[in-house]
Amino acid sequence: MKNTALKILHVLSWIFFIGLCFEAGVFLFNTVFRFFIDPADAHLFWQEVNLTTLYNFDPGYYVVETSLITLVAIAKAWMFYLIVKLFNDKKFNLEKPFNQEVRKFISNAAYLSLGIGLVSSWAVNFANWFVEQGVKMPDSEAMSVGGADVWLFMGIVLLVIAQIFKRGIEIQTENELTV
pLDDT of residue 101: 85
pLDDT of residue 154: 94
pLDDT of residue 102: 86
Handedness of CA 62, 112, 13, 125 (dihedral sign): negative
Domain ranges of the chain: 2-178
Pick left, alpha or beta for residue 38 (phi over 0 → left; psi -120 to 50 → alpha; otherwise beta).
Answer: beta
**Highest mean pLDDT: which range of 57-61, 77-81, 172-176:** 77-81
pLDDT of residue 42: 52
Write the pLDDT tens digit of every residue in 1-34: 567 888 898 899 999 999 999 888 888 887 777 7
For all residues of the chain together, what is the average pLDDT?
Answer: 84
Higher pLDDT, 73 or 175: 73
Of 63-67, 95-99, 134-138, least confident by mean pLDDT is: 95-99
* Mean pLDDT of the region 35-52: 64
Instruction: Please report the DSSP string for 118-141 in residue order.
Output: HHHHHHHHHHHHHHHTT-----TT
Q: Is the pLDDT of residue 46 over 60?
A: no
User: How many helices (DSSP H) and strands (DSSP E) are in the chain?
Assistant: 5, 0
Q: Is the pLDDT of residue 131 over 80?
A: yes
Residue among 173, 109, 120 at smallest CA distance from 146: 120
b/e 11-41 (16+ beta carbons within 10 angstroms → b) = eebeebbeebbebbeebbebbeebbeeeeee
Name, in order, each residue with C-beta under 8 angstroms of 73's C-beta and a sequence gap of 6 or more: 20, 23, 24, 27, 144
pLDDT of residue 57: 87
The structure's pTM equals: 0.84
Write the pLDDT tens digit of every residue in 70-96: 999 999 999 999 999 988 887 777 677
- The alpha carbon of 56 is separated from its chain's Cα centroid by a whole number of angstroms, namely 29
pLDDT of residue 139: 79
d(CA 65, CA 126): 7
Q: Show contacts of 170-178: CB within 8 Å, 24+ apart.
A: 171/98, 172/96, 172/98
Name, in order, each residue with C-beta under 8 angstroms of 10's C-beta and a sequence gap of 6 or more: 84, 87
